Amino acid sequence: MICRNDSGYILRPSLPEDSQNYARLFDQVDPEVARLTGSALHYDCDEAVSFFLANIDDETRRDFLLLDPTSRIIGESVINEIDSKLRSANFRIAIFDTSSLGCGIGSWAIEQTVDFAFREIGLHRLSLDVFSFNPRAIRAYEKAGFVREGALRDAVIDSATGSYGDDILMSILESEWREHR
């Protein structure tokens, strides 16, 4: 899958030659991105490269990179934990460039990845979890057709406030995806 939107953003599969540029994303993670995704603020370059390369060869996942119009990596969209017997998987997305947030890029990438999951992989169910203090992501997932299933109450701590937040569970089924499209 290679998709380009009207603004020139590209969503495409991760390639081995992307490993160094990918690792640079994790040299210093923006604190707000780390807060909303549960990431650390820094990852070792060698570990990030090893992780990235191992994911490319992992049959239970599909990793896509989100590139801006200048071909700079600004995020990733991932289908992981693919269970071919159950036809189910997990989904996650992260945009590391905070200047690209709130522009609809994430919603577009979610839609493209979800379409790929059901059309190309043939999934029956795609699930995710999102922190309750990330309302922008919740709206984007709902816009794509994801439905709230429940929450792990007070399961995470919001690093900005020190207060607890919920880990909200969401999913979309193949029939819901077809109806939504």
Q: Are strands 125-131 and 88-95 parallel, antiparallel or unpaired?
A: parallel
pLDDT the model gives residue 82: 98
Q: What is the pLDDT of residue 118?
A: 98
Residue 47 has a CB neighbour count (10 Å cut-off) of 11
The structure's pTM equals 0.93
Q: What is the pLDDT of residue 88?
A: 98
Copy the structure tokens of residue 65: 């990179």
- At 27 the pLDDT is 87
The single residue listed with the structure tokens 């200048």 is 70
Looking at residue 45, what is its pLDDT?
93
Assigned superfamily of 3-180: Gcn5-related N-acetyltransferase (GNAT) (3.40.630.30)
What's the pLDDT at 1? 81
User: Going by DSSP bridges, is the β-strand pair 62-67/147-157 parallel, antiparallel, or unpaired?
Assistant: unpaired
pLDDT in tens, 119-172: 999 999 999 999 999 999 999 999 999 999 999 999 999 999 999 999 999 999
**Domains of the chain, residue spans:** 3-180
Residues of the chain short of pLDDT 70, as ranges, are none
Q: List CB contacts of 69: < 8 A, sequence separation 6 or more.
A: 7, 8, 9
Confirm if 50 and 56 have CB atoms less than 8 A apart.
Answer: no
